[in-house]
């Protein structure tokens, strides 16, 4: 790994925000560094297959956020921070939402999922979509964990002999390998907690209703939720506070006391 990319390893949201505020780095530099790591580790080298698609507008978004920071406009705790999200979460941009299926490889969402809206409001850069167990592991009982027909097999960055966990395998492997600062996964039963534990991460499955389910490919109306996947507890708390909120398109969010 080159020295150009080594410095970003294991940096927290707070550390990166401090560096951005002091002018020690820029969001453009963060995006370029993560893209190099994706090229060196994910697309070649160990070939983790954690990333299913990179946002073609990531650098443009980073430049815009850098300019706004310079002008004294900082949107929130994730301003200029690159985040990856699972490929079953809708984004209204030039990325596709396929749930890992070749059937939906050309599908582009008509609107952002509520959690993506929350990320954008906080200034996050949606760096990439992550691979997953296809259809969030709702296709076959013996489905290989972390495998999708669109993205192939995700590999645990700690070694091929280790299970990567699923279904949010790509988010887990990407954050563990420092391909982004933080990630978003989704869970029905174990799909955040499993890859978080297998990749030495903090994974949070919130009580249903804390985070909106609108714009996320569903499995179970009583169990589905999105949640943070991060390297530290503090980063998990920061991301959780960004993702939660009341959404009129998901009435259960109005029942949450938080």
Catalytic residues: 86, 167, 191
Query: Is 88:186 a contact under the CB 8 Å cutoff?
Result: yes
Query: C-alpha angle with apex 176: 114 to 241, nearest 5 degrees?
Result: 35
Dihedral sign for Cα atoms in the order 101, 107, 110, 116:
positive
Query: C-alpha angle with apex 251: 258 to 89, nearest 5 degrees?
Result: 85
For the chain, give the longest Cα–Cα distance: 53
Contacts of 151 (CB under 8 A, 6+ apart): 49, 52, 87, 100, 131, 132, 170
Short-list 83, 82, 62, 78, CA closest to 17:
78
């Amino acid at each position: 790994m080159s020295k150009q990319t080594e410095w970003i390893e294991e940096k927290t949201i707070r550390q990166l925000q401090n560096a951005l505020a002091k002018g020690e780095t820029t969001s453009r530099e963060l995006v370029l560094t993560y893209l190099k790591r994706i090229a060196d580790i994910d697309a070649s080298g160990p070939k983790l297959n954690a990333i299913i698609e990179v946002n073609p507008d990531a650098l443009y978004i980073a430049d815009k956020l850098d300019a706004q920071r310079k002008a004294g406009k900082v949107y929130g705790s994730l301003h200029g921070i690159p985040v990856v999200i699972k490929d079953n979460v809708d984004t209204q941009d030039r990325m596709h939402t396929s749930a890992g299926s070749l059937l939906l490889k050309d599908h582009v969402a008509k609107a952002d999922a509520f959690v993506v809206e929350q990320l954008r409001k906080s200034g996050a850069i949606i760096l990439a979509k992550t691979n997953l167990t296809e259809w969030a592991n709702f296709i076959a009982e013996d489905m290989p964990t972390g495998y999708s027909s669109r993205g192939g097999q995700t590999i645990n960055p700690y070694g091929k002999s280790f299970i990567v966990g699923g279904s949010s395998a790509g988010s887990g492997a990407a954050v563990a390998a420092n391909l982004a600062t933080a990630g978003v996964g989704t869970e029905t039963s174990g799909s955040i907690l499993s890859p978080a534990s297998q990749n030495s991460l903090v994974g949070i499955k919130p009580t249903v209703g804390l985070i909106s389910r609108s714009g996320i490919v569903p499995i179970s109306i009583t169990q589905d939720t999105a949640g943070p996947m991060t390297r530290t507890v503090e980063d998990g708390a920061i991301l959780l506070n960004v993702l939660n909120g009341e959404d009129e398109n998901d009435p259960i969010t109005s029942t949450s006391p938080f």
